[in-house]
Structure 1
Amino acid sequence: MTLPKALAFDVFGTVVDWRAGIAAQTAAFLERHLPGTDPAEFADAWRSLYQPAMEECRSGRRPFTLLDELHLETVIQLLEHRGVKTAAIDGRELLDLSHAWRRLQPWADVPAGLAQLRELFPVVTLSNANIALMIAMNRFNGLAWDAILGAEVSRSYKPTAQAYLATAATLCVPPQDLCLVACHHSDLAAARSYGLQTAYIDRPMEYGGAPAPDASYAQQWDWAAADLQELASVFKRHR
C-alpha cells in the first residue's frame, strides 16, 4: 500500500471520547431539570438523534444546517420528549448545554499520537462538526490540526460522496492519496467506496464497552492500529 499524502480524521469517537464528555458536561443540568437521569444514558439518547437530524439535510428535506444548530434542536427535542418544558428554561442555559459537544477531551493516546502523525503528514479533520465547534473544542482540549475541514467546507454530511471528495479537492490531492482515520467501520466503508485510503483505530470504549452499532461494515482496512501512536509507528515502518 502506497503511503497517503495527508490524513483526514473523524473526530467524535475517533479523537475525542464524546460519551464520557457529554455525560460529564450534562450532569449538572440533568440534576437540576431531570433528577435521577443517568448522564451516560442521556448522552447515548442524544447521540441517537444525530444521524436522523443530519439525514434531513442529506436528503434535501432541509438546507444544510450547521451541527451546532442541530445539537441545540436535538437536545430540546430530547428534553421535551422526557417531559421538560424547555420554554421555561433560559435560552442561554440551553445553548450552553448544546455546546457540551464543544467541550470534549481526547482519548489518552491522541495528543502524543497526533503530534507524531503531524511529523509525517498534514493532518486535517473530516468531521461533521462545523468550524466554530471545532475551534472551540480545540481551544478547550489543546489539539492542533493543519486545517479544519469536513461538513461545513463540503456543505454535506458524511457519508455522502461530497463530504469526502471535497476534502481531498481542498487539499489538492486525488482521493487515493487521502487517508481517512476513523474508529467507525461505516465511515471507513463510505470513504473507501469513494476512493480514499482507510485507517482503522480501535475505540472499544466509545459506547461504554457496548458493541459498536456499525460492526457489520467491518472489512480489512488499508491500515489499522490500536491507537494513534501505534498508527504513527505503522506508517513509519512503511516509509
Structure 2
Amino acid sequence: MTNPKDTIHDLRAILFDVFGTVVDWRSSVAREVTAAAARYNLTVDAEALADRWRAFYQPAMSRVRAGNTPFVVLDVLHRQNLDQVLEEFSLGIFSESEKEALNCAWHRLDPWPDAIAGLERLKQRYMIGTLSNGNIALIANMAKYARLPWDVILGAEIARAYKPQPQAYLGSAA
C-alpha cells in the first residue's frame, strides 16, 4: 500500500475550485447588483438577488449533465439564470447591454482576504490552477481582476462537462 507521506512528495500541481473557495461570489455579485440598481434609483435586496441567482446555478448545470440541455459555457447559463431572477425581482427595466454587463459581475469577484497570500505560498512549491465549472474566459478575467496567480486555468469547456461528472475531472487532467 502506498504511504500518503511518500505520495505528497510526488505532488506537482494543485487544482482549485474557485467560486466560494477562492473568491467571495456573494458579496461581489451583490455589489454589482447594487450599482446596477442605483443607476435607476432602485433599492433592491442585492444579497437576496445574488443568492437567488446562484440558486439557479446547480439546476441549470443539472439539466446539462442529464443531457436535457446541450453543453453551453457558464456565462450562458448565468445569463439565462439572470433573466429569470430579474423577472422574479420585477427588475425588467434593464436593457440587453445592461444585462450583459451585470452578467459579467461573475468576472469581477473579489478574493477572500487570505486567498492570494495562500496561493502565492503554494505557488512557490507547486503549479497551481483552477478546475472550475466556470468557462476559461470567465476565470481568466476574474484572475486579472482579482490578481489571482494561477499557472493554469482549466474550465468546463475543456471536457464539455460540469463537475461532479467524472469527465469534467478526467477530461481536464488528460
**TM-score between the two structures when normalised by the length of structure 1:** 0.66
| Residue of structure 2 aligned with 1:145, choices 140, 146, 150 | 150
| Residue of structure 2 aligned with 1:106, choices 96, 105, 111 | 111
Tell me how far apart the structure 1 counterparts of residues 124 and 113 of structure 2 sit (CA, whole Å): 19
Show structure 1 runs of 5+ residues with no match. Answer: 170-239
> What is the SS of the residue equivalent to 1:8?
strand
Residue 41 of structure 1 is matched in structure 2 by 48
Higher helix share: 2
Please report how far the alpha carbon of residue 32 of structure 1 lies from its aligned counterpart in structure 2 after TM superposition. Answer: 4.9
Please report how far the alpha carbon of residue 31 of structure 1 lies from its aligned counterpart in structure 2 after TM superposition. Answer: 3.7
Q: Deviations over 1:58-111 (max 9, x none)?
A: 1111111011111111011111123333xx532110000011000011111111
Tell me how far apart the structure 2 counterparts of residues 58 and 80 of structure 1 sit (CA, whole Å): 25
Identity %: 46
Does 1:22 find its partner at 2:34? no
Q: Deviations over 1:93-142 (max 9, x none)?
A: 00000110000111111111101111111111000110111111111111
Aligned-pair RMSD on alpha carbons?
A: 1.6
> What is the SS of the residue equivalent to 1:7?
strand
> What is the SS of the residue equivalent to 2:149?
coil
Structure 1 letter corresponding to 2:138? L
Residue 60 of structure 2 is matched in structure 1 by 53
Matches within 5 A, 1:117-128: 117-128=122-133
**TM-score between the two structures when normalised by the length of structure 2:** 0.89
| Aligned residues between the structures | 167
